[in-house]
Structure 1
Amino acid sequence: MKQVFHKIISTLMAFVVLFSTLSFAIDMHFCGDKLVETAVFHKTEGCGMDMQKPASEDCLLTKNSCCNNEQLVVNGQDELQLSVDKISFEQQQFIASFVYTYINLFEGLGTDASNFETYHPPCVLKQIYKLDETYLI
């Protein structure tokens, strides 16, 4: 149960880190006051009513377009990068001593440790608890 809970929490934390650092932009195309098109990962194509530039410079016909594009940018968090340069000498010393002592907590078995692989239990000829009629309740 503890391992399942640990895996669920670690997966959830990975998704939180992923989505907190994710940046994206939403492009919107309006014709007048109506929203015509939205796009998340690419530019909007428009409705085809955009004003074209005049063919020559002599024509000074300028008319405001009824269409406009807006872009909403959602910036992700950039503060998750840990800089090792900012760790002081005392902090480095503490981290090194902590890792050293933590690794040394787990000692291996010695060479003289017996694991009873070749031990065979004695052969039981009579069941004593049945002979004496003593039972544990």
Structure 2
Amino acid sequence: MKETLRQIVSVTMALLVLFSTMSFTVDMHYCGDLLVDYSFFETADGCDMNASASGITDEDSVMEMEMDCCTDLEIILEGQDDLKISFDQFTFEQQIFISTFYYTYVNLFESVDKNLISFKEYSPPLLIRDIQILDQTFLI
């Protein structure tokens, strides 16, 4: 039980360190209010909003106009760069409090065996003669 709890805590702490130091960027491209493209690792592809006025039949007078309704949104989440927390930042009294709290907390969960048998490792003496029969002493 204690070993599995230790493994769970160590995996949780490793994931916490990983996700606190990881930084990522989300790039999104909107056309009006509609999300057209998004990307996590590279820039999002833009749409080519080219509209042509083809109401006129003359091909020379085809007019291309570019629509400016598109927006790009970039969300950047910066990770933590410095993880080393110096123990020198604490005062001496705080260091003493932390060390005694840790010591008492660790020793709180150590169980003491209540059924302590001091002679468990020793073998009984060899029985050569039955002393009670030899001395004719019986408990009645």
Taking structure 1 as the reference length, the TM-score comes to 0.49
Name the structure where strand makes up a greater proportion of residues.
2
Taking structure 2 as the reference length, the TM-score comes to 0.48
